[in-house]
């Protein structure tokens, strides 16, 4: 069992959530990096992490109607 490395979730916190079946799809191409630069510049934060949650309906559920 892994007890450590709880802190090391660099970029797997960006995902799509299907509102119908609850399926979760990880977003590989994170759009945050660009935005991050801006936040650092504008707000002066030392950014240590982020999470993007996007809701919608997955293709399978769309087919089902
Ligand atoms: Zn679905
Ligand atoms: Zn990200």
Q: What tens digit of pLDDT does each residue of 11-62 get?
A: 568 999 999 999 999 988 887 878 899 999 999 999 988 898 999 999 999 9
Q: Does the reported pTM lie above 0.85?
A: no
pLDDT at res. 3? 52
Domains parsed from the chain with CATH numbers:
14-64 (3.30.1490.190)
Question: How remote is the CA of residue 65 from the centroid of ligand 2, in Å?
Answer: 30
Residue (of 24, 27, 15, 21) closest to 62 by Cα position: 21
pLDDT over 50 (residue 8):
no
Looking at all shown ligands, the one closest to residue 49's CA atom is: 2
Beta-carbon contacts of residue 60 (< 8 Å; ≥ 6 apart): 21, 23
Question: How remote is the CA of residue 11 from the centroid of ligand 1, in Å?
Answer: 23
Distance of CA 58 to the CA centre of its chain: 16
pLDDT at res. 11? 54
* Pairing assessment for the beta strands 24-26 and 14-18 based on DSSP bridges: antiparallel
Question: How remote is the CA of residue 51 from the centroid of ligand 1, in Å?
Answer: 21
């Amino acid at each position: 069992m892994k007890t450590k490395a709880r802190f090391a979730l660099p970029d797997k916190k960006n995902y799509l959530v299907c509102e119908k079946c609850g399926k979760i799809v990880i977003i590989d191409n994170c759009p945050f990096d660009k935005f991050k630069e801006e936040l650092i510049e504008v707000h002066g934060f030392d950014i240590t992490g982020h999470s993007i949650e996007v809701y919608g309906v997955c293709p399978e559920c769309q087919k089902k109607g």
